[in-house]
Amino acid sequence: MQQADSLAGAGRFFEAGIVYERTLFEQPDAPLQLAAIRGKIACLKQQGRFGAAVQYLNGEVTNAYPDSVLLALRYEQITCAYLAGQFENALSLLDRLPYLHPDGPTETTLTSLIRVLSLNELQRWPEAAVAYRQALSRAGADTTQTPYAKLPKLKSEKKGQVLSTFIPGGGQFYAGKPGEGLLSILVQSAGLYFGIHSFLAGYYISAWGVGAATFGSFHAGGIRRTEILIRQFNDKQIKTFNANVRATLVAIMGQ
């Protein structure tokens, strides 16, 4: 354990994780085994390998540990699932806690926060609003003020695709990037103009190979770019909303 702790302290989390795992199999002492498990999880989290931490914990929670230990491991499992972007999995694990640990404290500041934020990420706003009010109620806080009265305004990918298809640059304007929209209009217009001019002048190969190809490639690229921009816009809106909700909950429930 000392070697693993030393490696972790030096920031060598990959090597430390291996030593922690070896300790887990070599040591029959239960407290040391638990310390090794927690060390392994901490190393995976430090490396940003939250999905791997979930998989590791999936195996550990099937072992015959004391109930208090299993509950602590399941808290870690839920946290890592959320951090890995496994929002449905995090909610499923949260829902199972009361049945697996009927005598344990299954509703905590952490679990309440993860439930609300996971529902937000999935845009399940009505359920998130209910979970938010329940969290405030358990903390004895005012439940009349809610951020869910003003939800983030998200843009439609389908609408952006339609605009880009029929109006050059329209999708980028809709996504909030007028500069990219103007550039798209200019390039597509130039390609179209060159193609028509070349065709009328009898340069059919140039009209097709340069003009039409330029117009077509930037037109298709504009549609794909619009999808990316709208996803980025929506992600930013949700992250900002989540950050505000998280800050409010932590401030109230941490009192």
Does residue 183 surpass a pLDDT of 50? yes
Q: Phi/psi zone of residue 75: left (φ > 0), alpha (ψ -120 to 50 degrees), beta?
A: alpha
Given a cut of 90, whether residue 198 has pLDDT beyond it is no
Q: Are residues 198 and 122 in the same domain?
A: no
In a domain, 150, yes or no: no
| pLDDT per position as a tens digit, 142-155 | 888 888 988 888 88
pLDDT at 188 over 60: no
Asked which of 53-62, 116-125, 205-214 is least confident by mean pLDDT, the reply is: 205-214
pLDDT of residue 118: 94
Which residue among 145, 175, 191 closes a domain? 145
Is residue 247 domain-resident? Answer: no
CATH number at residue 95: 1.25.40.10
pLDDT of 83: 95
**Mean pLDDT along residues 150-167:** 78
Neighbours of 105 (CB within 10 A): 10
pLDDT of residue 166: 62
Q: 17 vs 201, which has greater pLDDT?
A: 17
Is 82 a member of any domain?
yes
Alpha-carbon span 76 to 53, nearest angstrom: 9
34 and 75 part of one domain: yes
Task: Tell me, yes or no, whether 109 and 9 share the same domain.
Answer: yes
What is the Cα gyration radius of the chain?
27
Q: What is the pLDDT of residue 47?
A: 93
Residues in contact with 105: Cβ distance below 8 Å, sequence separation at least 6, in sequence order: 71
Mean pLDDT of the chain: 79
> Which residues fall within 8 angstroms of residue 43, CB to CB, at 6 or more apart?
8, 13, 14, 16, 17, 20
Provide the residue range defining the domain that includes 78. 2-145
Q: How many domains does the chain contain in total?
A: 2
Euclidean distance between CA atoms 190 and 198, whole angstroms: 12
Q: What is the pLDDT of residues 95-138, one digit of tens each?
A: 999 999 998 888 888 899 999 999 998 989 999 999 999 988 88
User: Does residue 195 belong to any structural domain of this protein?
Assistant: yes
Above 80 in pLDDT, residue 86?
yes
Residue 45 forms part of a structural domain: yes
Statement to judge: residues 232 and 192 lie in one domain: yes
* Judgement on whether residues 134 and 230 belong to the same structural domain of the protein: no
Q: Same domain for 54 and 180?
A: no
Q: Do 141 and 161 belong together in one domain? A: no
**Do 229 and 126 belong to one domain?**
no
* Structure tokens, 16: 């430390």
Q: Looking at 145, 168, 202, which one is the last position of a domain?
A: 145
Q: Are residues 138 and 170 in the same domain?
A: no
In a domain, 152, yes or no: no
Q: Which of 114, 145, 176 is the last residue of a domain?
A: 145
Q: Note whether 181 and 140 are same-domain residues.
A: no
Residue 211: predicted pLDDT: 42
* 183 and 230 belong to one structural domain: yes
Q: Are residue 16 and residue 137 in the same domain, yes or no?
A: yes
Q: Supply 78's token pair.
A: 């839920």
Q: Are 235 and 252 in contact (CB under 8 A)?
A: no
Q: Scanning the structure block, which residue is given the tokens 């015959």?
A: 64
pLDDT at 246 over 90: no
92 within a domain of the structure (yes/no): yes
For residues 162-175, average pLDDT:
68
What are 210's two structure tokens?
Answer: 């340069």
Over residues 183-211, mean pLDDT: 49
pLDDT exceeds cutoff 80 at 49: yes
pLDDT of residue 44: 93
Structural domain contains residue 127: yes
42-51, 95-104, 190-199: lowest mean pLDDT where? 190-199
What's the mean pLDDT in 151-172? 75
* pTM for the model: 0.74
Q: Which of 147, 156, 182, 179 is nearest to 168 (CA)?
A: 182
